[in-house]
Chain A
Amino acid sequence: MALDDNALKIKLREWKDKQRRDDLKYLGIGAASLLAFLLFWQMAVKTGLANERTLPAPSAIFETFLDKLTDPDPDGNTLGTNIFASLQVSLSGFFAALVIGIPLGLCMGWWTYADRFLRPIFELIRPVPPIAWIPLVVVWMGVGLKAKALIIFFTTFVPCVINSYTGIRLTNQTLINVSKTFGAKNFEIFHKVGIPSAMPMVFAGVRVALGSSWSTLVAAEMLAASAGLGYMIQYGRNVARADIVIVGMLTIGLVGAFLAAMLQFVEKRFLKWKTTR
């Protein structure tokens, strides 16, 4: 037995080593592609193939990025302030959508009356592009944080509702029957079977919502803003600073990726039964 254990341990270590080597290899391939892209870009600019004024070289953009960390010019805020302002807008809209959208979708998916009652309104609102709300929202709440968060809310609300609805609709009927024969009441089945079984779909919806909350940001910050990444991009455009625009774009991309990674971490915790498969 002891011998077997040892042999198993050695095998496990070998396997883990191989995994690590593979991981490194794939990471290397990914980095190589990125590096090649940047190199090509840099060459294109330096050889005059692209205009430096409209498409700055990666090295110049990196410089601007470092500058912006401490320098409020030209839009009046450091990069940190802009990120913070944008996060405030997008996350407040995003969380409001989660808190309202997920329970709504779950209820609509479980109770036919709720579905029939709410669906017409939802279907009517759903296809309206969030940006179309801007004029009205300005009239209602001015141009402050609340207004911008509301625009984000309209974008993120829809995937939250739809995925929660679909998720709970897909609940395995056998599991519902098991609970019924044990004598569970409908509400108990809803929260003990319906909700957990909908969770993977709900998380998929949240992931979509997070993505769209971040990508509607620029549109939301077209409302009179004094800080924010969207605002920074707008400003960079007005003063014809392509490097500022690109730094804004990249920062949106990076922060978005970071948020997505955080969400994935939470999801892994929450759906342990799914991911340990």
Chain B
Amino acid sequence: MMRHAETEAAVADEKNGRPVKISVRNLTKRFGDLLVLDDLTFNIHANEFVCVVGPTGCGKTTFLNCLTRIYEPTSGDLLIDNASADPQKHNISFVFQEPSAFPWLTVEENLAYGLKIKRVAKGEIERRVNQILDLMGLQQFRKSYPGELSVSIEQRVIIGRSFAMRPDLLLMDEPYGQMDVKVRFYLEDEVIRLWKELGSTIVFITHNIEEAVYLAERVIILSNKPACIKEELVLDLPRPRNIAGSEFIQYRKYITDKIKWW
């Protein structure tokens, strides 16, 4: 009942009629002699939710930083809609591990920040900011500064800021790493809701396997450094997923074993 391999994922998505949105081709990154990413190749389809898991220190963050061009890959490329990814041309959004709201901007200014950089028309910015404020339940905080908010609300602002971009590609790097279980569950449901509502394409990095199984349509398992793709796993569990269900636990155990036995 477990279906593996990229070909099967591709077949499944052809059935859904989702075109390939992002194509990673032989992505390799070296820092001097240290090989961090070793020849990664995979596709992500439009409106897909992919989780990337792997052992700590395997190069997950480096992988994301290559996708956003904070680092230039040593070789290989990342294509968005068949063009080499370029933050100034494409619409890429990134939710970082650390809190990254601008402390000198109010909540609504934070939400509008990326849209202003993209020179989106004023009326449209206002409309989208309002939509996000509603979706994330942030209306009452719109004039507050991040320093006046709790960490979990600040994280909601950051996630909202990324979704407001309507990104071609939304990258999330362990965004809930520092949250307690209750807040995490809440924000996980939030991210699924936004994903369905806005139809974004998401790559979500986590070392929390339960989180990956809860969120992903497809999980990419990375090996220990130098990271290569160990396996791709399509999860076709219905939503909302039951973390105590037997299938859920089976998937979780399977992925845990894969990460454990390198």
Picked from B91, B98, B147, the residue with its CB within 8 Å of the CB of A276 is B147
Determine if A181 and B145 form an interchain contact, defined as CB atoms under 8 angstroms apart. no
Q: How far is the CA of A94 from the CA of B2 in the complex (A)?
A: 73
Picked from A175, A179, A183, A272, the residue with its CB within 8 Å of the CB of B89 is A183
Determine if B103 and A182 form an interchain contact, defined as CB atoms under 8 angstroms apart. no
Minimum CB–CB distance from A198 to chain B (whole Å) comes to 11
- Interface SS, B side: loop
Q: How far is the CA of A239 from the CA of B161 in the complex (A)?
A: 70
Query: Is B117 engaged at the interface, CB distance under 8 Å to the other chain?
Result: yes
Determine if A174 and B117 form an interchain contact, defined as CB atoms under 8 angstroms apart. no
Interface code A179-192, partner B: CB below 8 Å = 1, 0 otherwise? 11111110010001
Question: Which residues of the other chain, A, contact B7 by a CB distance below 8 angstroms?
Answer: none
Determine if B117 and A183 form an interchain contact, defined as CB atoms under 8 angstroms apart. yes
Known contacts A177-B94, A197-B104, A273-B104: A183-B147 contact under CB 8 Å: no
Question: Which residues of the other chain, A, contact B90 by a CB distance below 8 angstroms?
Answer: 183
Query: Is B132 engaged at the interface, CB distance under 8 Å to the other chain?
Result: no
Picked from A182, A197, A199, A274, the residue with its CB within 8 Å of the CB of B165 is A182
Interface code A194-210, partner B: CB below 8 Å = 1, 0 otherwise? 00110100000000000
Question: Which residues of the other chain, A, contact B145 by a CB distance below 8 angstroms?
Answer: 272-273, 276-277
Question: Which residues of the other chain, A, contact B102 by a CB distance below 8 angstroms?
Answer: 175, 193, 196
Question: Which residues of the other chain, B, contact A177 by a CB distance below 8 angstroms?
Answer: 68, 70, 94, 96, 100
Query: Is A7 engaged at the interface, CB distance under 8 Å to the other chain?
Result: no
Determine if A184 and B98 form an interchain contact, defined as CB atoms under 8 angstroms apart. no
Question: Which residues of the other chain, B, contact A182 by a CB distance below 8 angstroms?
Answer: 87, 92-93, 113-114, 117-118, 165
Q: How far is the CA of A153 from the CA of B148 in the complex (A)?
A: 38
Known contacts A183-B88, A184-B117, A185-B88: A178-B147 contact under CB 8 Å: no
| Residue on B nearest A196 in the bound complex, by CB | B104
Q: How far is the CA of A273 from the CA of B143 in the complex (A)?
A: 11
Determine if A178 and B94 form an interchain contact, defined as CB atoms under 8 angstroms apart. yes
Question: Which residues of the other chain, A, contact B113 by a CB distance below 8 angstroms?
Answer: 182, 192
Minimum CB–CB distance from A139 to chain B (whole Å) comes to 46
Most buried by A among B88, B93, B104: B104
Question: Which residues of the other chain, A, contact B98 by a CB distance below 8 angstroms?
Answer: 174
Minimum CB–CB distance from B178 to chain A (whole Å) comes to 13
By size class, the interface of chain B is 20 to 34
Picked from A180, A199, A277, the residue with its CB within 8 Å of the CB of B147 is A277
Q: How far is the CA of A174 from the CA of B131 in the complex (A)?
A: 26
Question: Which residues of the other chain, B, contact A184 by a CB distance below 8 angstroms?
Answer: 117
Determine if A180 and B87 form an interchain contact, defined as CB atoms under 8 angstroms apart. yes
Question: Which residues of the other chain, B, contact A196 by a CB distance below 8 angstroms?
Answer: 102, 104
Picked from A185, A192, A193, A276, the residue with its CB within 8 Å of the CB of B148 is A276
| Residue on A nearest B115 in the bound complex, by CB | A182
Mark out the residues of chain B between 104 and 120 whose CB falls within 8 Å of any chain A CB in the assembled complex.
Answer: 104-105, 113-114, 117-118
Q: How far is the CA of A184 from the CA of B87 in the complex (A)?
A: 8
Q: How far is the CA of A185 from the CA of B88 in the complex (A)?
A: 8
Question: Which residues of the other chain, A, contact B70 by a CB distance below 8 angstroms?
Answer: 177, 180-181
| Residue on A nearest B146 in the bound complex, by CB | A273
Minimum CB–CB distance from A172 to chain B (whole Å) comes to 8
Mark out the residues of chain B between 199 and 241 whose CB falls within 8 Å of any chain A CB in the assembled complex.
Answer: none
Q: How far is the CA of A196 from the CA of B145 in the complex (A)?
A: 14
